[in-house]
Amino acid sequence: MSLTNIQVQGQPVPRVSARNHSMRNSVVCGVSIKRHHRVSNVLSRKSGPSLGSIPIRTDESQFLRVDGTGKFGRFGGKFVPETLMSRLRVLEDEFNFEELTTTLRDYVGRETPLYFAGRLTEHYKNLARTTGGGGRSGGPDIYLKREDLSHGGSHKINNALAQAMIARRLGCSRVVAATGAGQHGVATAAACAKFSLECTVFMGTTDIEKQSSNVQSMKLLGAQVKSVEGTFKDASSEAIRNWVGNLETTYYLSGTVVGPHPCPVMVREFQSVTGKETRRQANQLWGGKPDVLVGCVGSGSNALGLFHEFVGDEDVRLVGVEAAGLGLDSGKHSATLAVGEIGDTRPHSIGVGLEYPGVGPEISFLKETGRAEFYTATDQEAIQACMLLSRLEGIIPALEASHALAFLDKLVPTLRDGTKVVLNCSGRGDKDLDTLMQRGIA
Ligand SMILES: Cc1ncc(COP(=O)(O)O)c(C=O)c1O
């Protein structure tokens, strides 16, 4: 097995040569594709900081391979009308950016800390002591990857900024997006303000009600928030409809690892900064790798962002936690991977960002191949976990991230002493205070 340094932005989306591009004279966002190629060729010079470079294995790991069509096993691909094909090809070509590293540092505040949650760790050790724990007196060390400290309050900004840069390079004047929990909407609105792009965010009526503080933030950041009858699913359809009707001026900024290739790969690549930092920080903190990575799964972007760097490290467990909502037997859940049939369409979760009936192709592939494990946490368990972290660590996690935290109750007793667990604290919980107050908790 050999190790080599590759340019992050060059992997794994194959670059399409301008000369071979059959539609290079198409007009997109008012600028010919031919010109874009020149721009992207300059941007992709190896000398720039771009997304940095990481060591990855060049062995035959199936998890690090993706073909030019964006297929992960039987998942993924590019099933869209021909009118969108040229647009998606341009996206592939515009994947490289120089400014990103600097912007992530100075605007987002990266790198985010890998925080040792000492009191949470102690809580589980005490629990093991008092309950006997099968003679165990120790337990794992729990670390939080603090994406909640990112500008805007969640991991969503990593991807939104990078794609807003792409929109600007493409000459688009306008961005459309859809949001559920509102975190992607806030991130997109902030990125658009920064890059002087007009921003329209589509959001379901029920989500607007639940996440009103994020709606106010989006408006304050200059975005137009368009309400769509229903939930995130309906808002997504409306945003894409709007994009397709305005291809000349508008960029669709996808917030997670779903949709046609190259969207899932692109979003994962922009989010994988989390895992790369984690590897480096773990090495600094304890001179090794994490043993277990845990992330909540809505459609998969924060989990994959943490996991992807480690998929080739077979000694690192990858654990995704989906929303069991009111319980798996209730039919009101969003556990697409853990129990759902592919195509399940009855989502429910108190964590609005988990309330989506689909997951991305790459994370589906990790499930199907057995590389990652998937479990669930209910609404009630997530609320308890949110309260626990708030009181023990003074950190109010988003209800989405609280699902990952809730699973620690089941995971921790199965782990040997000293196991290093890294959990992606994907966002902060300020947006959820109304929901918690309605339940008499906050
Ligand atoms: C804080 C937070 N975590 C997690 C998610 C779930 O999305 P994903 O699975 O793409 O990370 C969301 C979605 O809005 C979110 O706001």
CATH number of the domain where residue 120 is located: 3.40.50.1100
Ligand 1-lining residues (CB < 6 angstroms): 154, 180-181, 183-184, 256, 296-302, 353-354, 398, 400-401, 426-427
The model's pLDDT over 366-392, given as tens digits with 9 standing for 90+, comes to 999 999 999 999 999 999 999 999 999
Structure confidence at residue 99 as a pLDDT band (50, 70, 90): confident
Q: What is the DSSP string of 146-212?
A: -GGGSTTSBTHHHHHHHHHHHHHHTT--EEEEEESSSHHHHHHHHHHHHTT-EEEEEEEHHHHHHTH
Q: Which atom of ligand 1 is nearest to the CA of 148?
A: 1
Q: Is residue 333 included in any domain, yes or no?
A: yes
Q: Which atom of ligand 1 is nearest to the CA of 305?
A: 11
Q: Is residue 250 included in any domain, yes or no?
A: no
Q: Which atom of ligand 1 is nearest to the CA of 359?
A: 9
The pLDDT > 70 percentage for the chain reads 77
The model's pLDDT over 278-323, given as tens digits with 9 standing for 90+, comes to 999 999 999 999 999 999 999 999 999 999 999 999 999 999 999 9
- Per the model's pLDDT, the better-predicted residue between 32 and 408 turns out to be 408
Q: Which atom of ligand 1 is nearest to the CA of 300?
A: 9
- For ligand 1, atom 14: residue with the closest CA: 353
Quote the domain boundaries for residue 347: 114-152+270-438
Give, for ligand 1, the residue of 155, 359, 364, 395 to mutate: max count of ligand atoms closer than 8 Å to Cβ.
155
Q: Separation of 302 CA from ligand 1 center, angstroms?
A: 6
Q: How far is it, in rounded angstroms, from Cα 84 to Cα 93?
A: 15
- For ligand 1, atom 7: residue with the closest CA: 298
Consecutive H or E run containing 126: helix 118-130
Q: Provide the domain count of the chain.
A: 1
Nearest CA to 268 among 300, 294, 241?
300
- For ligand 1, atom 6: residue with the closest CA: 298
Q: Which atom of ligand 1 is nearest to the CA of 302?
A: 11
Q: Which atom of ligand 1 is nearest to the CA of 298?
A: 9
Mean pLDDT value of segment 240-246:
95
Q: Is residue 389 included in any domain, yes or no?
A: yes
pTM score, whole prediction: 0.84
How do beta strands 71-72 and 75-76 pair? Answer: antiparallel
Q: Is residue 197 included in any domain, yes or no?
A: no
Q: How far is it, in rounded angstroms, from Cα 221 to Cα 344?
A: 35
Q: Is residue 403 included in any domain, yes or no?
A: yes
Q: Is residue 222 included in any domain, yes or no?
A: no
The pLDDT > 90 percentage for the chain reads 65
List own/partner pairs for 116-120 with CB under 8 A and 24 or more apart: 116/141, 116/142, 116/143, 116/285, 117/142, 117/143, 117/144, 117/389, 117/392, 117/393, 119/392, 119/393, 120/388, 120/389, 120/392, 120/393, 120/408
Q: Separation of 401 CA from ligand 1 center, angstroms?
A: 8
Structure confidence at residue 345 as a pLDDT band (50, 70, 90): low
Contact 425, 117 (CB under 8 A): no
Q: Is residue 16 included in any domain, yes or no?
A: no
Q: Separation of 101 CA from ligand 1 center, angstroms?
A: 22
Q: Is residue 400 included in any domain, yes or no?
A: yes
Q: Separation of 420 CA from ligand 1 center, angstroms?
A: 23
Q: Record the tokens describing residue 187, joined without a space.
A: 């991130």
Give, for ligand 1, the residue of 145, 151, 159, 183 to mutate: max count of ligand atoms closer than 8 Å to Cβ.
183
Characterize 231-241 residue by residue with b for buried, 16 or more Cβ atoms within 10 angstroms of its Cβ, and e for exposed.
bbbbbbebbbe
